[in-house]
Amino acid sequence: QKEVEQDPGPLSVPEGAIVSLNCTYSNSAFQYFMWYRQYSRKGPELLMYTYSSGNKEDGRFTAQVDKSSKYISLFIRDSQPSDSATYLCAMFDTGFQKLVFGTGTRLLVSP
């Protein structure tokens, strides 16, 4: 069983939809949470970074962390075709001092 579980998708939505992407984890040493976006044949690009439980908003993106449930989410409002990419959640393991990634969810936004 992987340390971080993430539905691989693909998730197909029409332009303008609200997208919800999720990850679950089991390790309490995971204390810092990130979302990365990866376009085809490119490196992962940091989208959101948060530590506390609760919501953090940046433009059309909202990251949500629930440490009690070990569950994190990324919401994308007014999705655009340019949002089509793979979204990777990542967590910093404070015990082993490393970033652990989910498997990524492929998102397709159709015009």
Partner 1 sequence: DTAVSQTPKYLVTQMGNDKSIKCEQNLGHDTMYWYKQDSKKFLKIMFSYNNKELIINETVPNRFSPKSPDKAHLNLHINSLELGDSAVYFCASKAGQPGPAFFGQGTRLTVV
Enumerate binding residues for partner 1 (CB under 8 A).
8, 31-32, 34, 36, 38, 41-46, 49, 86, 88, 90, 92, 94, 96-101, 103-104, 106
Backbone conformation region of residue 104, classed left if phi is above 0, alpha if psi is from -120 to 50, else beta: left
Distance CA 5, CA 90 (A): 10
* Minimum CB distance to partner 1, residue 76 (Å): 19
Q: Using the minimum distance from each CB to partner 1, give the nearer residue, 71 or 101.
A: 101
Q: Using the minimum distance from each CB to partner 1, give the nearer residue, 18 or 102.
A: 102
Which residue type does 11 have?
L
CB 73 within 8 A of CB 22: yes
* Minimum CB distance to partner 1, residue 79 (Å): 20
